[in-house]
Amino acid sequence: METREEIFATIQNIMVDMFELDAAEVTLEAHLYDDLDIDSIDAVDMVVELKNLTGKKIKPDDFKAVRTVSDVVDVVETLVK
């Protein structure tokens, strides 16, 4: 998981698997809560999955500002660099 595109593809796969979403719905612009119907419990589950994937802890404060799939990619991109 090096490039932004690879990070996005990984996150997209996680979201499709975990939340039974259609991959076409999971775009960088998609709003987690409004477009994808992901609630706070789902978000916590995703943070745990991303921690397992990266081996790095995501601070809750870093994830509070996340609103779109692109924001999630930004957080993970920062962690893996």
pLDDT in tens, 6-31: 999 999 999 999 999 999 999 999 99
Catalytic position from the list 17, 34, 37, 39: 39
Q: Is the pLDDT of residue 1 over 70?
A: no
39 assigned to active site: yes
User: Which letter does DSSP use for residue 34 in this model?
Assistant: T
User: What per-residue confidence (pLDDT) applies to 63?
Assistant: 80
pLDDT in tens, 32-76: 999 999 998 998 899 899 989 889 888 877 788 899 999 999 999
What number of residues does the chain have? 81
> Is this prediction's pTM over 0.95?
no
